[in-house]
Amino acid sequence: MHPTDSAVPDDIAAWRASHARDGAANLREMRSRAAQAAASCGAYVRVMEPSASSSGVLAGVPFAVKDNIVVAGAPTTAGSLALDDLLLSPTASVVRTLAAAGATVVGKANMHELALGVTSDNAGYGAVSDPRHPGRSAGGSSGGSAAAIAAGSAAFSLGTDTGGSMTIPASFCGVVGMRPTHGRYAGDGVLMISQSRDTIGVMAHNVGDVQFIDGLISGDTTAGSAGTRLGVPQGAYWDQIDDAVRGAAMHALDELAYHGFELVEIDLSDVQARALEHRHDLVGYEAPRALDALLQASDLSIRSVAELVGEVRSPDVRAALAGFVAAPVGERRYRAALRLRRDLRAIVKHRVLAAGVDALVYPSTPVVAVELGADRAVVNGHESPLFETITRNTETASMLGHPMITVPAVRDPDRPPVGLTIESLPGSDRDVLATAVEIERVLRAGGSRRMPEAAS
C-alpha cells in the first residue's frame, strides 16, 4: 500500500481502533509497514517484532525510536556500524513510559551517523529519503524518525535534537516535529553528543498527537493557551532563504493573518548572528567527551574518539570527529559559550515580552529538502555550505533550549514540503502546542487552495 493512500492510519486513534478490532492483524500490519519503510526509504536500521499491550491509552499504537535511544535487547548504534555491537540497558525512561501506556516499538529509526549531520545520508546503514519525494533527503539527524511517520509505518516517533534535528527532518518530510524545552523529558538512555543542548523530541502526523504524547512523557497535561499574536523575526530568518521556501512560508502567514492572527515584526538578527557565530562551541567541547566516556565504558575495542575516526563510514562525520581531535574546544571557550547562551536567553525573553507576542513563527529551513547525496545547499541558484545553511533558522532556539514545533506550511503533493516553526520561551511547551494546533487547523483548511505559481 502506498504511504499516501487514504486508507493508511495517520493518527493514534486510528491505530488504537484497528487494534481493538483485530489485535493480531494490527501487529502484522505494524511490522509489514515498518519493513516496507526500511526497504523503500531507509527509515529503519532495525525492524522489531511488535507486541502491543491490550490495555492502556496507547494499546496497539506503533512508534519508532531513533537509534541513539536505548531499547534494551536491541543494539544502540547511533547510526554507526562502528557501534553495531553496542548493547545497552536499561531502556530509556521515555520509551518505558510509552510502553507502559500500551505502545510498541516497531523499529530503531535510521539517522545521520552519530547524530553529527543534517541529511541522514548514512554511509553505513544507507541514506534516508522522504518517502513522498524519494530523490530528496529526509533531513537529519532524526531523518528516520520523520521518514517513519511520512511512510505511514508509525503513529509517532522519538528523535533527538541538538541544533534542529527534530524540526529539520519534520520540515523536509512534511510531518510535525517538536523539540521540547531542554530538560522537559528525562534524558537517560540517550547517546548524547551535547548534554547542554540535546533533548528527545516527538514527531507525528498532526499536532494533536504530539500534544498527547508530550503529556504522557512529561506528565504535564494542562490545556495550554493558544496565542494569536505572533512575532515574525527579521534578518537572516527571511533574507537568506530560497524563493520556494519564502513563497510557501509567506503564503502560510497570509492565511494566518486572514484568519485573525496578528503578525508583528520582531528584530532578533543580532541574537541569531551571535548564536551562529558560536554554534559549535558547546557541541565541540561536549561531544568528544561524551563519546570518549561511552567508548571507555563499553566492551568495544574502540576506546577513544581518535580511534573512532577511522571506523565511521560517513565522510562528513569522519571529518567532524577529526576536527574534534585536531582542534579541541578548550574550557575557557566553552564557559564563554555557556555565558553567551545565558545572555541571549535574557535578550530574547525581554524582546518577546516587550513586543507582547505569544510565540515566534518563521520558516523552519532556508531550503527545501536537498537531493540525496548533496554536499552543498542551493539558495536561489547559488551554492552555500550544507550544514550551516540548513541549520541557520533552527540553531538559535536549539542553542537556547527553547521549545519549538514545526508544522507543514502548505500541503501540496506536487511540491517538496516546507515547514513553519513556532517557538516560544522555556517552559511554555503546552502553550506552544496549543498555538500550533490552531495554526495547523488554519493551514490545513487553507491547504485546499494551491499557492500561486509566482509565490513558489
Q: Residue 189 is part of a domain; what is its CATH number?
A: 3.90.1300.10
> Where do the DSSP E strands lie in 117-204?
121-122, 126-127, 129-130, 133-137, 156-161, 176-179, 199-204
Asked if the peptide bond before residue 384 counts as cis, ω within 30 degrees of 0, the response is no
In a domain, 431, yes or no: yes
According to DSSP, residue 87 is labeled B
Distance CA 55, CA 167 (A): 32
**Sequence-distant (≥ 6) Cβ neighbours of residue 4 within 8 angstroms:** 132, 413
CB 185, CB 199: distance < 8 Å? yes
C-alpha cell at 415: 511540491
CB 43, CB 148: distance < 8 Å? yes
> What is the full per-residue pLDDT of the chain (456 aa) written as tens digits?
333 334 445 689 999 999 999 999 999 999 999 999 999 999 999 999 998 788 899 999 999 999 999 999 999 999 999 999 999 999 999 999 999 999 999 999 999 999 999 999 999 999 999 999 999 999 999 999 999 999 999 999 999 999 999 999 999 999 999 999 999 999 999 999 999 999 999 999 999 999 999 999 999 999 999 999 999 998 889 988 999 999 999 999 999 999 999 999 999 999 999 999 999 999 999 999 999 999 999 999 999 999 999 999 999 999 999 999 999 999 999 999 999 999 999 999 999 999 999 999 999 999 999 999 999 999 999 999 999 999 999 999 999 999 999 999 988 888 999 999 999 999 999 999 999 999 999 999 875 445 555 343
- Reported as type and span, the H/E element at residue 229 is strand 229-233
C-alpha cell at 254: 497570509
Which domain covers residue 167, as residue numbers?
Answer: 12-219+226-455
Residue pointed to by grid coordinates 568528544: 288
Please indicate whether residue 66 is annotated as part of the active site: yes
In a domain, 4, yes or no: no
Q: What is the tally of structural domains in the chain?
A: 1
- Reported as type and span, the H/E element at residue 46 is strand 44-47
In a domain, 289, yes or no: yes
In a domain, 3, yes or no: no
Q: Is 62 helix (H, G, I), strand (E, B) or coil?
A: strand
Question: For residue 225, which phi and psi values (nearest 5 degrees)?
Answer: -110, 125
Residue 363 C-alpha from the chain's centroid: 14
Q: Which of 80, 129, 141, 171 is catalytic?
A: 141
In a domain, 201, yes or no: yes
Please indicate whether residue 196 is annotated as part of the active site: no
CB 308, CB 82: distance < 8 Å? yes
In a domain, 329, yes or no: yes
What pLDDT shows up at residue 10?
Answer: 62
**CA-to-CA separations, 338 to 182, 186, 274, 278, 285, in angstroms, rounded:** 14, 21, 13, 10, 11
Please indicate whether residue 145 is annotated as part of the active site: no
- Reported as type and span, the H/E element at residue 45 is strand 44-47
What pLDDT shows up at residue 448?
Answer: 45
Residue closest to 12 by CA, chosen among 147, 291, 206, 275: 206
Residue closest to 236 by CA, chosen among 389, 408, 456, 424: 389
In a domain, 304, yes or no: yes
**Burial grade of 196 (CB within 10 A; 0-12, 13-18, 19 or more):** middle
In a domain, 153, yes or no: yes
C-alpha cell at 326: 585536531
Q: Which of 137, 153, 165, 398 is catalytic?
A: 165
CB 129, CB 135: distance < 8 Å? yes
